Structure 1
C-alpha cells in the first residue's frame, strides 16, 4: 500500500519554557538539558482533539487531487479523546459525508499511528478497502498537570492526516514496505511508566527513567529488525522518524544505530510531545524533501508498553 499524501495541523499558541519557570521554577536550561524542548503548542479554548483532526483533514483536501468523501475506510487514532463515543473518526466521516466508509478508532498510546496503519493494511489485504484516511490527533494539554515537575512540561497538541491507497498513485508517494508492532507490557514498569487516568490526575509519568531506557532500546532494535528483514543495511537508511517524546531519546537511538544526526527527523524541540501524531507530523513537515528511492523508518514506543516500526520507500 502507499501513502499518497499527508498533512498536519499545529495550534498557533506557543508555550515557552519561561511559562514553566514562572509556574513551578523549572528553568529553560533544566528542561532543555533533559528533554530538548524549548517550546510546545497548545490548543486554543475552542479547539479539541476532533477540531484539530478536521483541520488536518481540510489541509489534506487542499493537497490531493482525490475527493476524500470517496474513501472507504477512516481510521482515527488518539489517546486524548474529546469524545469517547463520537470519535475523531466519526467527526471526520460526518465532515466529509463519506457515506460508504467504514469507521474505526484505535487508542494504543504513542504507538497508535502504526497500529492505525496496520488496521488499514489488514482491510486492504482482505479486499475491504482501496482508499483509506488515517487521522491522528492529540490534545495532551487537556489532560496534563502543568504543576507536575516530572512530566507536566513535556506535552504539546497537534494532528495529522494521511491518504493511504491500495493501488500505486501516479504521483510520487511513499510505498509502505512493512509495518510491525508488538506489545511490551510485561517489561519493566510497563503498566506504571506512563498513565492517563482522567479521574485520577490525568497524564502522569512517575517512572520516566524506565520509559526512557526502554524507548531507546526498543526503537533502536525495531529499526534494525525491519531494515534487516527487508535486505537493507543501516547505511541505506535515508531518514529515521522516531516517536517525538524526548530529543535525548532521538539522539540516543540515532547514536545506537550509528546514524548521522541529520538523518533523525525531530520536531519535539518546538512542538513538545504530540503523542501518536508527532511522527506523522514529522513526515508531513519533510514530505517535499524526500527524494526518489529514499528509505525512511518510522519507529515508535508507547506507554503501556508497546513498540514497532514502519519502512517506507519514496517512489
Structure 2
C-alpha cells in the first residue's frame, strides 16, 4: 500500500490568543505556556467539515496528475465535528468527484480517525474491493467549541487534509505504508469523560486535561516504540515524528521519551491549534516536499475515548 500524495486545506481567518484574552481573560502567555498555541484557523461562514474535505481533496488531486480522479474506487472520511451526520464528508467528496457506485465510508474515532481510516483502506485493498482510495480528515471544531470555556475553549482550530492511497506503487516518489497499528484504551483512566462532544449539550468539553496528557504521552510513545522495534529502526534513522497536534508539551514529552530531537518532530499546533484528526495529516503535507529517498516517517496519534495508533512511512 502506497501514499501517492497528501494536501491540506486551511481556512483563511486567523484567530490569535488575544481573542480569548478579550472573551475570557486568558493571557496569551498562559495559553502558550500550557499548550504552545499562538493562533489557530477558523472556518468562514459557509465553510464546514464537508466543504473543507472537498477543498483538501481537490488540492491533492490537482497536485497529483498520475492519480486519475476517475480511478478512485474508495472514499473514507474521518471527523468528529460533522456538518451533517447523514450526508457525511465522504458523501460530499464523492458527489464533488462525480464518481458513482463506489464504497463511501465515514468514521469517527476522535483524533485517531486518520489511522483508522487508513486501516479501512488497507482492508478494502486486501479483500480486492478497491485499488485507489481517497482518505480525507476534516474538523470544524469552531462549530462546536465554546470560546468562553477557560479549560478548553482556546484549543481548537479548523482544517482538513486528503491522502491519495494506492494498492500498487504509482511513482518512485510514493511513500510505502509499511505498517499501521491502532488500538483503544477506553477502559483506562478518565477515557469516558476526559474529552466529550455531546451536540445536544455543551459542545466540546475537556474537564480532565491532565489525564488526557498522561495517557497521550504513554500510548503515543509506546506504540511508536513498537513500530521502531518491529522494523529495526534506530531512533537516529527516523527522519520525522509527526504526533497528533493536541498540545506542544505532549509532543515534546513523547519525543523526549523516544530520544528524538525536537527538530525532527513536526509541529503545527503553534499556528493552527488542535485540528483534531486532521492535524497530523496537515503536518505530513507541510513536510511532504522535503522528503527524499530513504526517509522514514512515523505518524502517531491519540484521541478522546483514548484511541491511539502509529503508522510507518518509507520513502522510495
Category of TM-score, reference length = shorter chain: over 0.9
Structure 1, unpaired ranges of 5+: none
**2:14 alignment partner in structure 1:** 14
Q: Deviations over 1:238-271 (max 9, x none)?
A: 1100000011111111111111111100000000
Give the CA deviation at 1:54. Answer: 0.6
Counterpart of 2:274 in structure 1 is 273
Q: In 2, distance between residues paired with 1:252 and 1:291? A: 27
Instruction: Establish whether residue 248 from structure 1 lines up as the match of residue 249 from structure 2.
Output: yes
Q: How far apart, CA to CA, are the structure 1 residues paired with 2:203 and 2:163?
A: 29
- State whether residues 4 and 174 of structure 1, in contact with CA within 8 Å, keep that contact through their aligned partners in structure 2: yes
Match of 2:149 in 1: 148
Taking the aligned partners of 1:92 and 1:161, their CA distance within structure 2 comes to 10
Alignment partners' CA distance in 2, 1:281 and 1:138: 11
Match of residue 128 from structure 1: 129
Structure 1, 232-241 or 18-27: larger mean CA deviation: 232-241
Report the RMSD for the aligned CA atoms in angstroms. 0.8
- Residues 189-247 of structure 1: per-residue CA shift (max 9 Å, x gap): 01011000001100000000000011011101111001111122222211100000011
Instruction: Name the residue aligned to 1:2.
Output: 2
CA contact (8 A) 2:4 2:171 kept: no
Match of 1:284 in 2: 285
Q: Distance in 1 between matches of 2:168 and 2:208?
A: 44
Q: Secondary structure at the match of 1:187?
A: coil
Count of aligned residue pairs for this structure pair? 315
| Deviations 1:82-141 (CA, angstroms, capped at 9, x unpaired) | 000000100111111112421011100000000000000000011111100101100000
Q: CA offset at residue 171 of structure 1?
A: 4.0
Task: Write the deviation string for residues 117-176 of structure 1: whole angstroms up to 9, x where unpaired.
Answer: 000000001111110010110000000110111100000000001110000112401110
Matches within 5 A, 1:51-200: 51-65=51-65, 66-200=67-201
1:32 aligns with 2:28: no
- Which residue of structure 1 lines up, in the alignment, with residue 45 of structure 2? 45
Secondary structure in 1 matching 2:305: coil
Matches within 5 A, 1:289-304: 289-304=290-305
Alpha-carbon distance, 1:9 to partner: 0.2
Flag structure 2 segments of 5+ consecutive residues without an equivalent: none
Shift of 1:60: 1.2
Contact 1:220 1:256 in 2 (8 A): yes
- Aligned pairs for 1:206-217 (under 5 A) are 206-217=207-218
Q: TM-score, normalised to structure 2's length?
A: 0.98
Residue aligning to 1:259: 260
State the SS of the aligned residue for 1:232: coil
